[in-house]
Every structure is written in C-alpha cells, then in structure tokens.
Structure 1
Amino acid sequence: MLYDCVIVGGGFAGLQAAIQLGRYRHHVAVIDAGEGRSSICKNYHNLIGFPDGISGAELLASGKSQAKRFGTAFIQAKVIHAERDGEAWKLTTSDNQSFRGKRLLLATGVKDRLSDFRMLIPCMGNSVFVCPDCDGYEVSGKPTLVLGAGNAGARMALTLTHWTSELIYVNHERVLVDDELRVQLEEHGIPCIEQMVRDVILSEEQFKGIVLDDGTVINRSRCFIAFGGNEVRSDLARQLGVELMENKHIRIDPRTKLTSVKHVWAAGDVAGHSEMVTIAMGDGSQAAIWIHKSLITASKG
C-alpha cells in the first residue's frame, strides 16, 4: 500500500502530525519502535489542561487513540533503512517489512544518555528530571542533586540556581570541568564532587539520594541528570542525504519543517531539540499543514 504520508516516530510530534493529517483525510501510517523518551516520563507538569500533571504514557495513548479515529495505521517496528522508490519513499524495518509513502515525516527524536542510572527511569518526571525548562520549577527551594559529567553537569547545576540555591553536583564520570565553570560553581556555593556513585537510594518510585564510592551518603529528594552526549536519531535522514547540523540535528525550514530533501519533513527533538511537549506538538502540526499543501498541490497538478 502507498500511504500519503509515512511518519517515523510515534512521540508527540509524530502523533500530532498524524492527527492533523488524518483530519485532512489523508492516508497515514506511523511506524514507531516504542523507545521514545516521552514514554518513560511519569509526569508532565507544564501542559495546559493538566495542572496536576499527566504521564507520558497516558498522553501518548490518548494521542494514538485520537489518531486512529481518523484512520491512521500504527506499525510497531524499528525502521532501519530509508530510500527513494520512484516518486515515493520506501522504509524497511528490522523485521524486514517495507512501507511506502508519497511524503515522509521524520519524528525520530533524541535518546537521553543516562550513563549508569537506568534504575532511575521509574522516577522520571516525579523526582528525577532531565529538562530544566520543563521541570526546573519542581525543585524550587528544594535540596537538589545533579548527576552528570563534566561541563554538561556543571551547566545544569548553574541553570538550576534560578530555582534553588541548595545544589550539589556529582561529576560521576569525572570528566574535566572547564575552569570558568568551576569558578561559577564556587561563586554559587555549589560543591563539585569528583567521585563515582556506588549506589542509588530509592523508595518505590521516588529518588532519595546516593552513596558515593567512598561510602558517603548524600540524601536528596530531587535529582537532575545531565551527562551530555544524547543520541540524536537522525540516521535515516543521513541515509536520504538530508542536511544535518554539526550536532547531528536535522536542518529544517523553520516555517514549514521541510528538510533539504524535497518531500521529506522533520519535527520534534530530532530537528529543533526543543525537549518540550508543547513545542514538539506544534512542530508536528506545522509539518502536517505543509505536507497537506504539498499533497494537494500535487493532486491538482
């Protein structure tokens, strides 16, 4: 079957695009491997209509159900190869399925580097956070730990001084921190501990603190993770010859979300690195509008 548009990635950008395209009555398929960062967040606090928060899983399930109302097909698979196939795009998955679309939207996102701390995933969005723009408010006036590596962790700690002065930075990977950043940490009274973490203290799905390599216990109820080096999932774009930025994010037209390759769009974190639900949704809607215009123009031609 030839779809009007195939969307790779079923996160917030991909789902919002699917809903919009479905309302244009286009035939759409979403291919998603179920590995998106939004699926592990237990609570989003900064969205209109959810003052008490909503989990990523709930929001994704709602979006998928809504998209299905408009006939969107959902395929759980991982796309490993993309190529042009005549006037269409052909996508091949790891289980050797193939899907074709007249238009292609890449909403493949970013994967956070959690280093040795995947055990913190159940705490994400409740007491452990990765995005200060989304969740800095959640640590307002609270003793907070930053687990990170080198400059990435140092910058996170400094960013969080907007909300709290009670900060400790543990440079778990003992990566060199620039002198300028060390000076700023000292000026803000933020200890920079150059030790690995031996153990993490949890109470069900709540972060409670850490045990350092030397046995020192640091009790904290809030934690931010900042190791840097997140995986930008732009490999399919590279296969198609799409122009990438130096940081591997996809370069797009800010108005249309079109990439450097005709009939290939990108939205969400893989493009703008927004790391916010609201912006990802907006990207998806915007891309869908221009995909629709492209399809309509082609049908009239």
Structure 2
Amino acid sequence: MGQLTMIYDCIIIGGGIAGLQASIQLGRYMRKVAVIDAEEGRSTLCQKYNNILGFPHGVSGHTLRQAGEEHARRLGVHFYNDAVRHLHKNGATFEACGQLNIKGRKVLLATGVKDHIPTIKGVEPCLGLSIYVCPDCDGYEIKGKKTVVMGSGDTGAALAVILTYWSSRITFINHDQKPLSKKMLEKLQASQVALKETEICEVKEENGQIQAVETVEDGIIEAEKAFVAFGGNIVRSDLAAQLGAQVRENKHLIVDPQTKMTTVEGLWAAGDAVAHSELVTAAMGEASIAALWVHKSLLKEE
C-alpha cells in the first residue's frame, strides 16, 4: 500500500456525478480535495440521461464524468483510481485505505448504489438508450410504447404496475419464475399487465435500441423499450458503517437534512447512498449542499 503524506481538507470517495459535483464546489472554495474512484458506478454504464437541465437531447454518463473531472482538475482537485476498502478515523483525521492510504480532515461519501444488472446478452449495450432502471428518471421515455419489464417476482411486478402510468402496453417477464404474491397478481391483472413466466435468453438490439426479447417458453416478444427490476441492489454504505454511522433498514445512510452530515462527526454523504431518489439532478444538488457544509465546518476549525 502507498502512503500519501499530504492531508487533504476533504476526501471524496466516489467519482460519479455526486462526487464530481462536490469536488467542483470544494475546488471553488480553494480546498485541497482528493477524489477516489474505482470507476464502476452507475454513471459509467448509463449511456443517456434525459432529465438534466441544459441537455434537451440527453447526455451520457461518460460525457458528464469527463466534463466534471476536467472542471475539477482545473480547480486543483486531485484524482486517484482506487477502491477504498477501509475507512478509519484517528482523532480529527480520516484515513481511506485501498491500494493507497489517503488522509483527510473531512470525508464525503458519494459511493452510490450498485445495480443488479442481469448478465443477459444484449442488455448492457441498451442501458440508458432503450433499457432503463429508474421509473422516475426514465418512465417518460416509454410513453405509449410497447415495453417489457425484465425482472424477478414481486420486485419486477411492482415496477410493471408503476410503468402503466406512462404506457398501457406493458409485459412483465418473470425471468426466474419467482413466486408472485396474491396481492401482486391482483395488481397486475387490474393494471392489465401481460405476465410471462419464462426465462429470458437474449435481448435483440440494434445500436442500443431494443427490438425484442427472446424467451425460452414464449419465443420472441417484441419490444420498443424495457426496464430491468431484479432487486438485490447493493447500497454502498459499508465504509460509513465501519465508523458506526447510522443507516436505515434498507442500508441507506441517515444524514442531517440541512447539512448532509452523517451521524459521525466530519463524515458527509450525498447521492444514492443516502436518499436513493436515483435522480442524477438530486444527487448533484445534495452533493453541492454537502460540500458547502464541509467548507463551513473547515472554516470553524480554522
């Protein structure tokens, strides 16, 4: 492991959209900032965000990340490609340990959520283009379109019902045939969602646009759009938990509603690891607020 001698004003763990936005804000406060990122978050997969002010035709996660990093670097922010495994607090100093050991006076967690994306051929090339995970972010994209929900049990069925707000042409494919509750079956029927209990073989796509879903028992099911809902997403709050930070039953971090600081002094959090709204715009706003209060905390000490 490499030990860095510099003590940063703030370590940001997670270089996705929330982490980058926080780094820009802190950089503009002329703070010494280190961003540590393993380059495996949601924004590395999403090929198009459609709900961000200033991008009426959408923008990819790669483009946002690239622009955000360039912006932050111009402000003197340091970037490290590393996966933090342990987070320690010794007095007033935190230490983030991975391949490198990086010390800082404050820490902002922007570690997000790891989605359970099935390893079905054809899914990944379509993410953000014609296959989605968040109804609040992308429900509008399926308006009136023939849409397949690829999922598991009640989790997938619940999303299928939600999506009928945007389209009446919804088919739910219960990929692993996980038993559905009586209540959920009634909701599917009431919402006129077509139910297919069959394994998915492959997604047929062209240039990121889904054409159909090939299944074992029902053959080819045509689709213009799709969502995935398998459950089992992992909230990346384990580093905060190492320090005793309080989490909710669903593992999302509890933060002060004004400052975004966790229940551990000097440890902030923003983005999907907290509220899990899944909206990138919300993550950006929360990260900016968290950065503001990190700066205020540093000022008090100085």
* Class of the TM-score when normalised by the shorter of the 2 chains: over 0.9
The DSSP-based 3-state class of the residue aligned with 2:301 is helix
User: Is the 2:10–2:104 contact (alpha carbons within 8 Å) kept by the matching residues of 1?
Assistant: yes
Q: What is the DSSP-based 3-state SS (H/G/I as helix, E as strand, rest coil) of the residue aligned with 2:34?
A: strand
Please name the residue that 2:109 is paired with: 106
Q: What's the counterpart of residue 245 of structure 1?
A: 248
Paired with 2:117 and 2:128, the residues of 1 have a C-alpha distance of: 14
Q: What CA distance in whole angstroms lies between the structure 1 residues aligned with 2:68 and 2:85?
A: 25
* Residues 173-182 or 10-19, more deviating: 173-182
Count of matched residue pairs: 297
Match of 1:53 in 2: 58
Residue 55 of structure 2 aligns to which amino acid in structure 1? F
**What is the SS of the residue equivalent to 1:91?**
strand
Aligned to 1:186: 189
Worse overlay, 82-91 or 197-206: 197-206
Residue aligning to 1:72: 77
- Greater displacement, 32-41 / 199-208: 199-208
| Structure 2 residue corresponding to 1:204, chosen from 199, 207, 212 | 207
Report whether the alignment pairs 1:5 with 2:25. Answer: no
> What is the distance in 1 between the residues matched to 2:251 and 2:38?
21
Q: Distance in 2 between matches of 1:39 and 1:76?
A: 14
* Structure 1 residue ranges, 4+ long, deviating more than 6 angstroms after superposition: none
Please identify which structure carries the higher helix content.
Answer: 1
RMSD of aligned alpha carbons: 1.1
Q: Which residue of 2 aligns with 1:15?
A: 20
Check conservation: 2:121, 2:202, Cα contact below 8 A.
no
Match of 1:274 in 2: 277
Of 2-11 and 210-219, more deviation after overlay is shown by 210-219
Q: Offset of 1:200 from its aligned partner?
A: 2.0
| 2:177/2:199 contact within 8 Å kept | yes
Are the equivalent residues in 1 in contact too, given 2:14–2:111 (CA < 8 A)?
A: yes
Deviations 1:188-216 (A, max 9, x none): 22121111112221223221111111251
Contact 2:46-2:60 within 8 A present in 1 as well: yes
Shift of 1:120: 1.2
**For 2:20 and 2:219, how far apart are their aligned partners in 1?**
45
Residue 180 of structure 1 aligns to a residue whose secondary structure is helix
Structure 1 residue 288 corresponds to structure 2 residue 285: no
Q: AA paired with 1:40? A: L
Contact 2:196 2:218 in 1 (8 A): no
Q: How big is each residue's C-alpha offset from its partner over 1:150-200, in whole Å with a ceiling of 9 and x where there is no partner? A: 111111111111110001000102112221111111112212111111222
Matching residue's letter, 1:42: Q
Assess, with a 3 A threshold, how the Cα gap between structure 1 residues 108 and 296 changes in structure 2: closer, same or farther: same
Instruction: Specify the code of the residue in structure 2 equivalent to 1:86.
Output: G
3-state SS in 2 of match to 1:270: coil
2:100 is aligned with 1:91: no
In structure 1, the residue matched to 2:3 is: none
User: Per-residue deviation at 1:118?
Assistant: 6.5
Structure 1 vs Structure 2: percent identity of aligned residues? 45
Is 2:173 aligned against 1:176? no
TM-score by length of 2: 0.96
Tell me, in whole angstroms, the C-alpha distance in 2 between the residues paired with 1:53 and 1:283: 21
Superposed CA offset, 1:18-76 (max 9, x none): 01111111100000000010111111111111101110100111111111111000001
Following the alignment from structure 1 to structure 2, what is the Cα–Cα distance between the partners of residues 89 and 71?
Answer: 21
Distance 2:183 2:73 in 1: 52
C-alpha separation in 2, matches of 1:223 and 1:28: 39
Please report the TM-score for the alignment, with normalisation by the length of structure 1. Answer: 0.96
Bigger shift: residues 73-82 or 171-180: 171-180
Give, in angstroms, the shift of residue 78 of structure 1. 0.4
Q: Which range moves more in the overlay, 109-118 or 119-128? A: 109-118
Q: Distance in 2 between matches of 1:118 and 1:13?
A: 30
- What stretches of structure 2 of length at least 5 have no aligned partner? 1-5
Q: In structure 2, give the amino acid aligned to 1:6.
A: I
How far apart, CA to CA, are the structure 2 residues paired with 1:199 and 1:163? Answer: 25
Distance 1:131 1:66 in 2: 28
Quick one: which amino acid aligns to residue 34 of structure 2? A
Q: CA offset at residue 117 of structure 1?
A: 2.8
Q: Distance in 2 between matches of 1:121 and 1:104?
A: 32
Give the one of 149, 155, 158 matched to 1:155.
Answer: 158
Letter matched to residue 148 of structure 1: G
State how far apart, in whole Å, the 1-side matches of 2:202 and 2:225 are. 16
